[in-house]
Amino acid sequence: MAGKFKIPFGTMAVTEKAKQLIMDALDRKRLSSGKYVRDFEKQFASLVGTKEAVALANGTDADALALAVLYDYGAGRGDEIIVPALSFVATGNAVLQAGFIPVFVDVELDTLNIDPSKIEAAITPKTRAIMPVHLMGKPAEMDTINAIAKKHGLYVIEDAAEAHGAVYKGRNVGILGHMAAYSLYVAHIITTVEGGIVTTDNPDFAEILRSLRSHGRACKCESCVLNTASAHCSKRFQYEDKGDIRFIFERIGFSSKMNEMEAAVGLGALEIYHDILKKRRANLYYLLEEFQRFGSYLTTFRKESYEEIGPHALPVIIKQGAGFTRNEFVGHLEENGIDTRDLFSSMPTQCVGFAFLGYEPGSFPVAEYIGKNGLHIGVHQDLGIEECKYVIHTIREFLNSHH
């Protein structure tokens, strides 16, 4: 294939609308959370199909604050949350940051997601929730997970960080549990540069989330008149003996507000969301189809008939006995202008920060195998079929030279 393409892992678009809104916010000097954040929340909820969405500072906080809601419903510090062993480390970090203990379950090689057949064995009297991750935008097996949760009286919180646009059995990811946590980082289809958002159909959960993101304060209306216009607020002194509602703190909270400039970038991204989704999905599905020819040496997930994958990236796992290492493979891709990322790690046994939990290497064989042999390649909207063909050509070239 003549000439080399440059295939960066990610991209992001700051639209003209976003620039206009940012300048407007700067001119008005209204930069902290306000009108644009509210607009973004409403539009995101509408897109996913939930009644509520609460915007936050980042996707890790989205996981952590969704979990922290459970304290209002009887959870205690040190209770347990079931999560897949394989994910971006933010999943495990968020559980600990929320004051819970992550209990890890191995994943399936062909889906990259939590193995539903191993969940029940991990449930104890201290378990409060299951947090499946839709890794690389591939929906987890939510029917089985929800059935297990219902049987044991557990909450289900989707980690949908990478799953923008994913659909499971006719329903959008983001509405399949009690809450769903999204990342809005630069690499994602909808981005606010940094940022996260939690979707839910439960208005009480949303109210608690608004409190949690602002230090746990009692002031938690969807839109604050004091914040937008310094107007009269009938609720401000409703607890007469306690003073200003803004300085009454009902729960242990976080500092996790989205600001107006980030929301402006997000509002611009929402305008072009369907176009981005279409381009990314075309790239991913083309690569998945072409990838079948490499089945002797490399594997990836597959698209099931009942789902649409949220096209975040193309996962690649080097098969046992392939005859080459991940580093050799990645080195060849890099030399040919194709950027890659590792396909994360087994958090409990390959990330040293989790060693204090006491898991032994070998406890999560599938997650650990992927952690040593997995990578992912971008499918973003600045790429097209020609670039995807170049990726396939470069992989074929490598495999031909090694066999």
Q: Is 385 exposed, middle or buried (0-12, 13-18, 19+ CB in 10 A)?
A: exposed
The CA R_g of the chain, rounded to the nearest whole Å, is 22
Please check whether residue 366 is in contact with residue 115, taking contact to mean a CB–CB distance below 8 angstroms: yes
pLDDT value, residue 45: 98
pLDDT value, residue 219: 73
Q: Is 55 exposed, middle or buried (0-12, 13-18, 19+ CB in 10 A)?
A: buried
pLDDT value, residue 13: 85
Fold of 16-271: Aspartate Aminotransferase; domain 2 (3.40.640)
Q: What is the DSSP letter of 294?
A: G
Q: Alpha-carbon torsion 108, 113, 118, 122, what sign?
A: positive
Tokens representing residue 131 in the block: 């947090």
pLDDT value, residue 1: 58
Question: How would DSSP label each residue in 163-206?
Answer: -TT-EETTEETTSSSSEEEEE--TTSSS--SSBEEEEES-HHHH
pLDDT value, residue 402: 87
Please check whether residue 168 is in contact with residue 142, taking contact to mean a CB–CB distance below 8 angstroms: yes
The domains of the chain are located at 16-271, 273-402
9 strand-pairing partners: none
pTM over 0.85: yes
pLDDT value, residue 244: 78
User: CATH for 273-402?
Assistant: 3.90.1150.10
pLDDT value, residue 19: 96
pLDDT value, residue 247: 86
Closest among 193, 161, 198, 349 to 267, alpha carbons compared: 193
Q: Alpha-carbon torsion 65, 66, 67, 71, what sign?
A: positive
Closest among 40, 49, 50 to 200, alpha carbons compared: 50
Walk along the chain (403 residues) and give the pLDDT tens digit of each residue: 555 789 999 998 899 999 999 999 999 888 887 899 999 999 999 999 999 999 999 999 999 999 999 999 999 999 999 999 999 999 999 999 999 999 999 999 999 999 999 999 999 999 999 999 999 999 999 999 999 999 999 999 999 999 999 999 999 999 999 999 999 999 999 999 999 999 999 999 999 999 999 999 987 666 655 555 556 666 666 666 767 778 889 999 999 999 999 999 999 999 999 999 999 999 999 999 999 999 999 999 999 999 999 999 999 999 999 999 999 999 999 999 999 999 999 999 999 999 999 999 999 999 999 999 999 999 999 999 999 999 999 999 999 998 7
